[in-house]
């Protein structure tokens, strides 16, 4: 392995950073150094990487289609490409790994232009725009879901289904069996939505609880991630209904809270679906509705088809519908247990090690025949 080890390029959201962190942990166990190329926004959340291993590469997402917005985005991406081109020789990576999102675009392009081995990991069941741009140029493609590139023979030939790497905290949480739920016992529900979903959870979940029969409400124990501005109204409803709850803007121990839950209500980002299936917990999943690629809908469909989740499009995610779904599950604890087992069967706990093997094959450290 070259002195620079492995560089991972990830940014934008936790959905891209979490699998990069998991890969870094798997490579660290093999005494391989890992550096991170990311944008300024994501760098604030890159605590799993040593500060001197984090390198900021300017990036931008295409938002507006008007000439001025496109010019600004193009200028920033060009600057990022130039900076990545200049940074890479000093880092001397043996391989550069991209995890999707526009912050990975310029580092991976610069690496391919310099002839450095590259691969990308696609977390979602539908390939995102940045990875679609990079896919023809990289040497290998890892996928979180099987069959992502079915129908594109050239790209499928480069693809390896590794699964989505999950953090060590998720691996630890996965050791906990599904908590038994007795008829009439406490039903523990975890609710979260991420930066783009917490508002809708605040709007829908408390009113749904209010619509439930009092006997069911007394059984509930709710842990809910809620934005700061929504905390007072969410707490006020639960307090008025005398529902046991813990409401906060962020939970550092989210995998452990997943493991302690009987049911999870959440968005269906790739990392969420990977963690739910690794830990083995049933979900009611509400895909982000306005994504161009409808990746979250495809992700939720994977777990729904496996029998581990109920997918509700946001247009169907009403207090009435959610109250009915939770009431039906609460009355059938055996169905919750069956869904938990189905989710667990769909999980891949060793995805980080599978991806690490692929990374080292691309770098030439592990022979291709392994």
DSSP 8-state secondary structure symbol assigned to residue 178: P
For helices 105-113 and 67-91, what crossing angle results, to 10°?
50
1 lies in some domain:
no
Chain-centre distance of CA 76, in angstroms? 26
pLDDT at 48: 75
pLDDT at 13: 63
At residue 2, the pLDDT reads 46
Cβ atoms of 69 and 94 within 8 Å: the answer is no
Contact between residue 202 and residue 226 where contact means Cβ atoms under 8 Å apart: yes
Same domain for 278 and 194? yes
Q: Can you tell me the distance from the alpha carbon of 135 to that of 155, in angstroms, rounded to the nearest whole number?
A: 7
339, 301: one domain? yes
Predicted confidence (pLDDT) per residue in 99-157, tens digit = 988 889 999 999 999 999 999 999 999 999 889 999 999 999 999 999 999 989 999 99
Query: Tokens for 228?
Result: 């700061």
Q: Does the residue 368 lie in any domain?
A: no
In sequence order, what DSSP letters do the residues of 22-66 get, joined into one string?
HHHHHHHTTT--EEEEE-HHHHTT-TTS-GGGEEE---------S
Same domain, 300 and 178: yes
Q: Examine the domain organization and report whether 34 and 159 are in the same domain.
A: yes
Q: Which parts of the chain have pLDDT scores under 70?
A: 1-4, 12-15, 42-47, 60-65, 195-197, 366-370
Domain that residue 230 falls in: 171-345
Q: What does the alpha-carbon distance between residue 207 and residue 36 come to, in Å, rounded to a whole number?
A: 42
Number of folded domains that form the chain:
2
The reply to whether 217 falls in a domain is yes
Domain check: are 209 and 146 in the same one?
A: no
Q: Which is it for strands 159-161 and 34-38: parallel, antiparallel or unpaired?
A: unpaired
What 3-state DSSP class applies to 106? Answer: helix
Q: Are residues 185 and 327 in the same domain?
A: yes
Q: Let me know if residue 207 belongs to a domain.
A: yes
370 inside domain:
no
Rounded Cα gap, residues 60 and 281, in angstroms: 35
Are 160 and 181 contained in the same domain? no
**Residues 99, 37: one domain?**
yes
> Distances in Å between the alpha carbon of 120 and those of 123, 144, 153, 287?
10, 11, 17, 24
Length of the chain: 370
| Residue 297 and residue 218 share a domain | yes
> Are 190 and 85 part of one and the same domain?
no
Q: With respect to residue 307, please indicate whether it lies within any of the assigned structural domains.
A: yes
Predicted confidence at residue 370, as pLDDT, reads: 47
The reported pLDDT for the residue numbered 3 is 52
For residues 191 and 125, state if they share a domain.
no
What DSSP designation does 78 have?
H
Residue 158 lies in a domain: yes
CATH number, residue 134: 3.40.50.2000
Q: Does residue 253 lie in a domain region?
A: yes
- On whether both 341 and 353 belong to a single domain, the answer is no
């Amino acid at each position: 392995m070259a002195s620079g080890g492995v560089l991972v390029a990830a940014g934008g959201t936790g959905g891209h950073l979490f699998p990069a962190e998991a890969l870094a942990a798997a490579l660290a166990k093999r005494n391989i150094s890992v550096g991170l190329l990311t944008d300024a926004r994501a760098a604030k959340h890159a605590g799993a990487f040593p500060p001197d291993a984090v390198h900021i590469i300017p990036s931008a997402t295409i938002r507006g289609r008007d000439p001025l917005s496109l010019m600004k985005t193009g200028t920033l991406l060009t600057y990022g490409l130039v900076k990545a081109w200049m940074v890479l020789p000093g880092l001397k990576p043996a391989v550069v790994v991209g995890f999707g999102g526009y912050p990975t675009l310029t580092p991976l392009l610069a690496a391919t232009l310099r002839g450095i081995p590259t691969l990308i990991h696609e977390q979602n069941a539908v390939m995102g725009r940045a990875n679609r741009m990079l896919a023809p140029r990289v040497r290998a493609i890892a996928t979180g879901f099987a069959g992502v590139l079915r129908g594109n023979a050239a790209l499928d030939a480069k693809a390896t289904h590794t699964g989505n790497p999950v953090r060590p905290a998720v691996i630890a949480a996965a050791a906990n069996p599904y908590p038994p739920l007795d008829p009439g016992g406490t039903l523990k529900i975890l609710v979260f939505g991420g930066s783009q979903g917490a508002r809708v959870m605040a709007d829908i979940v408390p009113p749904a609880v209010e619509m439930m029969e009092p006997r069911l409400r007394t059984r509930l124990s709710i842990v809910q991630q809620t934005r700061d501005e929504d905390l007072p109204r969410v707490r006020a409803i639960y307090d008025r209904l005398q529902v046991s709850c813990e409401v906060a803007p962020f939970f550092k121990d989210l995998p452990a809270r997943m493991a302690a839950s009987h049911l999870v209500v959440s968005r269906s980002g790739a990392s969420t679906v990977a963690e739910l299936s690794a830990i083995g917990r049933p979900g009611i999943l509400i895909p982000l509705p306005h994504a161009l690629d409808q990746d979250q809908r495809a992700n939720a469909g994977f777990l729904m088809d496996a029998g581990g989740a109920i997918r509700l499009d946001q247009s169907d995610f009403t207090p009435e519908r959610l109250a009915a779904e939770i009431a039906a599950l609460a009355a059938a604890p055996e169905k919750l247990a069956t869904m938990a087992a189905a989710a667990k069967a769909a999980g891949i706990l060793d995805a980080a090690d599978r991806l690490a093997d692929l990374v080292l094959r691309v770098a030439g450290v592990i022979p291709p025949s392994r």
